[in-house]
Amino acid sequence: MEKVKAIVLRAAGVNCDLETEHALELAGAAARRVHINRLIEDPALLDGCRILVLPGGFSYGDDVAAGKILANQMVHHLRDALVRFIEEGNLVLGICNGFQVLIKTGILPGTDGGGALNLTDPQATLTDNDNGRFEDRWVSLQPGTDRCVFLDPDRRIYLPIAHGEGKIVTRDEEALEKIREGGHIAFRYVDAEGRPGGFPVNPNGSVDSIAGLTDSTGRVLGLMPHPERFVRRTQHPHWTRLPQSEEAGDGMMIFNNAVTYIQDHF
């Protein structure tokens, strides 16, 4: 069987592209890293690609706001290509800065329908952590929906975050209600027993402990934690305490599900 093709998008300041490419390859995809300048020159590079990943980093130095400049580039140069890509049933994953980009293009939370790029009337955004600092720590995540193709709805996972602007806020209570009711909450920060809580369980003060969002199709996922940083046992922060086992890291759930979904649907 031909491998599922994936593109990891690079741009100035993106810095998690190599490990993200590696995670995709571990999941069985054929991944390549493509610079945004090349994609703007030739949007047809997306043809045949089934998974587009926006990795973590500090695209354009987080100038103006995290993810803003790259989001603006995508909206104005790649709008049609992106909308078509999503409509054709492909998958989009935004991790950390990539999530910030997706939310700033308006693709997420996508309460207005799949694939919409809503710059003018954003429903939610990501802003400074409540403690005002960049924070690297591990968090437990509870899936909040059963229709996002990247996740197993009943499997709680453990992943690291590393960000300064990860707090989700919504425009108003109504917007939050729509996100909840529409099943857009992909992950919530919880403790080891699955209960939401204050800092550090919810490390940035996100409304309703939201850690990740999916659009109305369930084929676009954005999350602040880094699944590509937990693809093997020795990346766990206290793996030396855990029993020996060959099990891969929790982050592989997301990449494996993505590849399996494409294999099952195309």
Partner 1 sequence: MKQWRFEVSNKSGFRDVHGQAVLSEIRECGIRSVEDVFSTKVYMIEADFDREFAERVARELLSDPVFQDCALGRSGAPAGPMPASVIEVHLKSGVTDPVAESVYSALLDLGAGAVGSVRTARKYILLGNLSEADCQTICRRVLANDCIEEVIIGADAEPPSPHTQPYELNVTELPIRDLDEDGLTALSKERDLFLDLKEMQTIQSHYRGLDREPTDVELETLAQTWSEHCVHKTLKSRVEMDLDGEKITFGNLLKETVFKATQDLNRDWCLSVFSDNAGVIEFDESSAVCFKVETHNHPSALDPYGGAATGIGGVIRDPMGTGMGAKPIANTDVFCFGRPDMAPNEVPKGVLHPRRIMKGVVAGVRDYGNRMGIPTVNGALYFDDRYLANPLVFCGNVGLIPRDKCFKHQQAGHLIVVVGGRTGRDGIHGATFSSGEMTHEHEDIFSHAVQIGNAITEKKMLDTLLEARDRELYEAITDCGAGGLSSAVGEMGAELGAEVDLEKVPLKYAGLSYTEIWISEAQERMVIAVKPENLDAILKLFGSEDVEATVIGRFTGDQQLTLRYQGREVGRLDMDFLHEGICKYERKAVWKSPASAEPVIGLKDDFTEDLLAILSSYNVASKEWVIRQYDHEVQGGSVIKPLAGVTNDGPSDAAVMRPKYDSDRGIALACGMNPCYGDLDPYRMALSGIDEAVRNLVCVGARFERIALLDNFCWGDCRRPETFGTLVRSAQACYDGAMAYGTPFISGKDSLNNEFVCEDGRRIAIPATLLISAIGLVDDVNRCVTMDLKQAGNLLFVVGLTKNELGGSHYYLVHGHGGGIVPDADLEIGPETARRIAEAIGEGLIRSCHDCSEGGLATALAEMAFAGGLGVEADLRGLPTAEDCTRADRQLFSESNSRYLVEVGPDQYEAFARKMLNLPFGQIGKVTAEPRLVIRDAKKKAVIDSDIRELKEAWQKPLRW
**Catalytic entry in 49, 148, 184, 226:** 226
Q: Using the rule CB under 8 A, which residue among 1, 2, 48, 133 binds partner 1?
A: 133
Residue 35 interacts with partner 1 (CB under 8 A)? Answer: yes
Rounded Cα distance, 185 and 187, in Å: 6
Kindly report the backbone phi and psi dihedral angles of residue 130, in degrees, each rounded to the nearest multiple of 5, phi listed first.
Answer: -55, -35
Q: Annotate each residue in 72-111 with x if it binds partner 1 (CB under 8 A) or - if it does not, as one string.
A: xx--xx--------------------------x-------
Q: Kindly provide the b/e burial profile for residues 47-60, where b requires at least 16 CB atoms within 10 angstroms of the residue's own CB.
A: eebbbbbbbbbbbb
Q: Considering beta carbons, is residue 83 or 169 the nearer one to partner 1? A: 169
Name the residue among 128, 155, 145 with its Cα closest to residue 227: 155
Least separation in angstroms between CB 133 and partner 1: 6
Question: By CB under 8 A, is residue 207 in contact with partner 1?
Answer: no
> Rounded to whole angstroms, how far apart are CA atoms 244 and 79?
47
CA distances from 238 to 141, 230, 235, 265 (A): 17, 12, 8, 38
Which position among 9, 69, 81, 220 is part of the footprint of partner 1 (CB under 8 A)? Answer: 69
- Ranges within 156-195 binding partner 1 (CB under 8 A): 160, 162, 169-171
Nearer to partner 1, 13 or 182 (CB): 13
Closer residue to partner 1 (CB): 136 or 177: 136
**Residue 16 among the catalytic residues:** no
Alpha-helical regions (H) of 88-159: 97-105
Minimum distance from CB of 248 to partner 1 (Å)?
Answer: 13
CB of 94 to partner 1, least distance (A): 17
Q: How far is CA 176 from the centre of its chain?
A: 19
Kindly tell me which residue out of 2, 44, 48, 121 binds partner 1, with binding defined by CB under 8 A: 121
Task: Name the active-site residue from 16, 49, 96, 148.
Answer: 96
Residue 184 appears among annotated catalytic residues: no
Cβ atoms of residues 222 and 108 within 8 Å: yes
**Paired tokens of 163:** 């960000």
Amino acid in position 248: A
Please report whether residue 263 would count as binding partner 1 according to CB under 8 A.
no
Residue 113 DSSP label: -
Decide if 21 is catalytic: no
Three-class secondary structure of residue 195 per DSSP: coil
19, 135, 165, 228: the active-site residue? 228
Q: Does 199 bind partner 1 (CB under 8 A)?
A: no
Radius of gyration for the chain, computed over Cα atoms and rounded to the nearest angstrom: 17
Orientation angle between helical segments 17-26 and 252-265, nearest 10 degrees: 60
Q: How far apart are CA 194 and CA 200, in angstroms?
A: 14
Active site residues: 96, 226, 228
Return residues touching partner 1 (CB under 8 A): 10, 12-13, 15-16, 18-19, 22-23, 35, 37-38, 56-58, 60-61, 63-65, 68-69, 72-73, 76-77, 104, 119-125, 127-128, 130, 132-138, 160, 162, 169-171, 226, 228-229, 231, 233-235, 237-238, 240-241
